[in-house]
A and B are shown apart, each in its own frame.
Chain A
Amino acid sequence: MPGLTSPKTRRTAGARLAVVAATAVLPLALASCTDNANANATGATDGPIQVTSTDTECKVSAAVAPSGNLTFAVKNDGAEVTEFYVLAEDGLRIVAEVENIGPGITRNLVLTAPAGKYTTACKPGMQGDGIRADFTVKDSGKQATADADHQKLVDTGVTQYTAYVKDQTEQLVAGTREFAAAYAAGDAAKAKSLYAATRMHWERIEPVAESFGDLDPKLDAREADLEPGQKWTGWHRAEKDLFPPAGYKALTAAERSAISKQLVADTGELSTRTRTVELSADKLGNGAKELLDEVARGKVTGEEEIWSHTDLWDFQANVDGARIAFENLKPALEQKDAALAKDLDAKFSALQAELKTHAKGDGFAYYNELSKDEVQQLSALVDALGEPLSKLTAAVVL
């Protein structure tokens, strides 16, 4: 970079930089003004939403607001510097924030918010996740943003689903630890009670988990599917031991402990790998379809949980996972094929309603308690949903 150039050239370089800097920043500043919501203005809503942040609390005067321009007047009543965030529903994307709110100071946060679910957060001390609360913006008829371009909707959907996968994985890791501890300690009653509920976190994100070809068999192989010479580990190994068939020889404490350790380690590995997994709209769409196929192949037949008969938990979890993927893609789908979105909505609801009739307490009826007709009914609804669901990916991506 050093080297002698003539003074003349250098002067132009300086001037050019000045022009570049000015042209880069000015239009940006001009294009991005927004109305300062004024409490006295006619037609304005109920004035700013009052937020009071202390070192331990984050009080928001309203949990619901109409779409359009919103003003949060954030007052710091604590001793530490605080920040206030409006986050998207996933709790990750920052919609708007105001930083550097010193003690005793009120600062306004003005944003244009379309209808939807949000999360508010105060961050006293400027670190950690902050004190969070749900916040809803209702459609006021005034369409706040016209920038609903397709790619943006798709990207938002993918981001939300990625957050969902992360959340489910975290719950899976925590749940697996608890289950494994109970199982290894020989507390069969507790392990049995945790079995189906914990597995739901796995079943909800199965397409992502299955994308790691080596982990899936380690964690979820059924005895019937074992390859010759394959070591049997994972959930179903524990299942057989906890819900033993007649004539079954129980595992020793050492064997149980080994299975538990392996289960926790493999789940941890899964969690690490999902952190960096790159999702995309087609993976969401195809994943939703895979989940439903999974239902049709394993759950409807009652093969998945052959000893515990907790297939309906898995069934529900697969449907959850598929529905979340669909819902994250729905705003983008509605632009391309509103009829398909409507059809999918209706068929998900129908299947969910039928599933609900088999709910028992926090869980479900055991699969061997269902009548042949009831299984038939579920199967028909799964097939009915599978048909439009197979069109989801193409409709969104193409």
Chain B
Amino acid sequence: MTANFLIGLREGLEATLIVVLLMAYLTKSGRRALLPRLWAGVGIAVAVSVGFGALLTFGPRGLTFEAQEAIGGGLSIVAVGLVTWMVFWMARTARTLGSELRSRVDGVADGAAWGLVLVAALAVGREGLETALFLWAAAQASGESGTPLSGALLGLAVAAGLGYLLHRGVLKVNLSRFFTWTGVALVVIAGGVLAYGVHDLQEAGILPGLHSLAFDVSAAVPPSSWYGTLLKGTLNFSPATTWLEATAWVLYAVPVMFCYLRANFRRRLRPAAETPAATAAIAS
């Protein structure tokens, strides 16, 4: 029961965190109207995953292991690209937020419509197929024993609940900090997703170096423990990390974070007159 719960929790967090942060961003920047696009992306991903999962479990054809890993890893890497693009899009639109260019900003948001749907679909979809396969297996097993499916579903529910709490909590943060921190959080999470994608491709034999470990702290942070689960679920932290994963993480997170923070500091240095206007726009 506990173990299945932890699987649901971890996969749920992996899938929802990016969506939750983007949701908070849209709410906070007064673009709630775009929320349905995010949900559409989530819906598509869930439907496709569950459908494919059922097909692969009960249908006549299965997916090879390489294909599963390549899809998971490939989607992860594409998701990182899109999330990065979103983060900078956010930084950019936040800058013009509440200014007289409002109409133009909405134009920008329209342009990002596809992007929002895709980011949501990829963030959920990259973990979706694996989770759906697990859930179908659990559903089959629950015919015998009952508990595995409920444990996994409970884990997913708790992940959703944690996501909701985070969403609420983030909404309370002061506006200028909010923009910085969601962006920072997204960059860190995206770095983890990238590393995870690299690991998947290493397992599939598409990338080399699966056995050259940069560090292995699985004795201190067992993957099956609750804290291991949380670290994996939120940051995609793997206790046994290969050199290639670690390198990918650093090569991604460091320059992107630098560019992102620089973009933010420039925004902060702009005339202070923009900030009250921005707050007013949110309050409205």
**A interface with B by C-beta (< 8 Å):** 1-2, 4, 7-8, 10-11, 13-15, 17-18, 20-21, 24-25, 28-29, 31-36, 38, 79-81, 92-112, 125-128
**B271 near A: Cβ within 8 Å?**
no
Q: Is the CB of B203 within 8 A of A102?
A: no
Least CB distance from B228 to A in Å reads: 9
The 8 Å CB contact of A126, one of B91, B122, B223, is B223
Q: Which of the 9-residue segments B27-35, B131-139, B160-168, B190-198 touches chain A?
A: B131-139
Q: Is the CB of B82 within 8 A of A17?
A: yes
Q: Is the CB of B114 within 8 A of A17?
A: yes
Whether A125 contacts B222 in the complex (CB less than 8 A), given A34-B62, A107-B137, comes out as: yes
* Residues of chain A within 8 A of B36, CB atoms compared: none
Q: Is the CB of B7 within 8 A of A81?
A: yes
Q: Is the CB of B67 within 8 A of A7?
A: no
Q: Is the CB of B78 within 8 A of A80?
A: no
**B51 near A: Cβ within 8 Å?**
no
Q: Is the CB of B81 within 8 A of A17?
A: yes
* Residues of chain B within 8 A of A7, CB atoms compared: 104, 107-108, 110-111
* Residues of chain A within 8 A of B222, CB atoms compared: 125, 127
Question: In the complex, what residue of chain B is closest to A19 when comparing beta carbons?
Answer: B114
Extra pairs beyond A11-B114, A33-B67, A93-B205 (18, CB < 8 Å)? A1-B263, A2-B263, A2-B266, A7-B107, A28-B70, A29-B67, A33-B63, A35-B60, A36-B56, A36-B59, A81-B4, A94-B203, A102-B151, A104-B145, A104-B147, A107-B134, A110-B64, A127-B239
Q: Is the CB of A125 within 8 A of B224?
A: yes
**B283 near A: Cβ within 8 Å?**
no
Q: Is the CB of B224 within 8 A of A81?
A: yes
Q: Is the CB of B134 within 8 A of A100?
A: yes
Q: Is the CB of A33 within 8 A of B6?
A: no
Whether A125 contacts B82 in the complex (CB less than 8 A), given A106-B140, A108-B62, comes out as: no
Expressed in whole angstroms, the Cα–Cα distance for A31 and B59 within the complex equals: 17
Least CB distance from B267 to A in Å reads: 9
7 closest Cβ pairs, A-B complex: A32-B67, A11-B111, A102-B4, A96-B65, A7-B107, A10-B111, A14-B115
Interface of B is mostly: helix
Q: How many residues of B are counted as interface, with CB atoms below 8 angstroms from the partner's CB atoms?
A: 70
Expressed in whole angstroms, the Cα–Cα distance for A95 and B1 within the complex equals: 30
Q: Is the CB of B74 within 8 A of A10?
A: no
* Residues of chain A within 8 A of B56, CB atoms compared: 36
* Residues of chain A within 8 A of B133, CB atoms compared: 107
Least CB distance from A202 to B in Å reads: 23
Per-residue 0/1 for B154-186: is the Cβ within 8 Å of any A Cβ (1 yes, 0 no)?
000000000000000000000000000000000
In the complex, number of A-B residue pairs with CB atoms less than 8 Å apart: 171
B residues 96-151 touching A (CB-CB < 8 Å): 104, 107-108, 110-115, 117-118, 122, 130, 133-134, 137-138, 140-141, 144-145, 147-148, 151
* Residues of chain A within 8 A of B187, CB atoms compared: none
* Residues of chain A within 8 A of B226, CB atoms compared: none
Expressed in whole angstroms, the Cα–Cα distance for A202 and B266 within the complex equals: 62
Expressed in whole angstroms, the Cα–Cα distance for A15 and B85 within the complex equals: 13
Expressed in whole angstroms, the Cα–Cα distance for A81 and B5 within the complex equals: 10
Question: In the complex, what residue of chain B is closest to A15 when comparing beta carbons?
Answer: B114
Least CB distance from A95 to B in Å reads: 8
Expressed in whole angstroms, the Cα–Cα distance for A13 and B84 within the complex equals: 13
Question: In the complex, what residue of chain A is closest to B104 when comparing beta carbons?
Answer: A7
Expressed in whole angstroms, the Cα–Cα distance for A38 and B60 within the complex equals: 8
Which one of A8, A31, A32, A109 has the greatest number of beta carbons of chain B within 10 Å? A32
Which one of A15, A97, A102, A110 has the greatest number of beta carbons of chain B within 10 Å? A102
The 8 Å CB contact of A112, one of B64, B113, B140, is B64
Question: In the complex, what residue of chain A is closest to B117 when comparing beta carbons?
Answer: A18
Q: Is the CB of A106 within 8 A of B137?
A: yes
**B210 near A: Cβ within 8 Å?**
yes
Expressed in whole angstroms, the Cα–Cα distance for A156 and B127 within the complex equals: 30
**B61 near A: Cβ within 8 Å?**
yes
Q: Is the CB of A24 within 8 A of B63?
A: no
Least CB distance from A245 to B in Å reads: 46
Expressed in whole angstroms, the Cα–Cα distance for A92 and B202 within the complex equals: 12
**B240 near A: Cβ within 8 Å?**
yes
Q: Is the CB of B63 within 8 A of A32?
A: yes
Least CB distance from B128 to A in Å reads: 13
Q: Is the CB of A94 within 8 A of B64?
A: no
Expressed in whole angstroms, the Cα–Cα distance for A21 and B1 within the complex equals: 37
Whether A18 contacts B114 in the complex (CB less than 8 A), given A1-B259, A2-B91, A35-B61, comes out as: yes
Expressed in whole angstroms, the Cα–Cα distance for A17 and B71 within the complex equals: 17
Which one of B91, B107, B141, B219 has the greatest number of beta carbons of chain A within 10 Å? B141
Q: List 11 A-B contacts (CB under 8 A).
A: A1-B263, A11-B110, A17-B81, A25-B71, A94-B204, A100-B7, A101-B137, A103-B1, A105-B138, A105-B148, A107-B134
Q: Is the CB of B64 within 8 A of A111?
A: yes
Question: In the complex, what residue of chain B is closest to A9 when comparing beta carbons?
Answer: B111
Per-residue 0/1 for B54-91: is the Cβ within 8 Å of any A Cβ (1 yes, 0 no)?
00110111111111001100110010011001001101
Expressed in whole angstroms, the Cα–Cα distance for A66 and B263 within the complex equals: 60
Question: In the complex, what residue of chain A is closest to B136 when comparing beta carbons?
Answer: A107
Q: Is the CB of A81 within 8 A of B3?
A: yes
Least CB distance from A54 to B in Å reads: 13
Q: Is the CB of B138 within 8 A of A102?
A: yes
Q: Is the CB of A2 within 8 A of B7?
A: no
Q: Is the CB of A36 within 8 A of B60?
A: yes
B residues 193-241 touching A (CB-CB < 8 Å): 203-205, 210-211, 218-219, 222-224, 239-240
Expressed in whole angstroms, the Cα–Cα distance for A11 and B109 within the complex equals: 9
Q: Is the CB of B64 within 8 A of A25?
A: no
Least CB distance from A382 to B in Å reads: 35
Q: Is the CB of A105 within 8 A of B137?
A: yes
Least CB distance from A45 to B in Å reads: 16
* Residues of chain B within 8 A of A96, CB atoms compared: 64-66
Expressed in whole angstroms, the Cα–Cα distance for A11 and B85 within the complex equals: 13
Expressed in whole angstroms, the Cα–Cα distance for A104 and B134 within the complex equals: 12
* Residues of chain B within 8 A of A92, CB atoms compared: 210-211
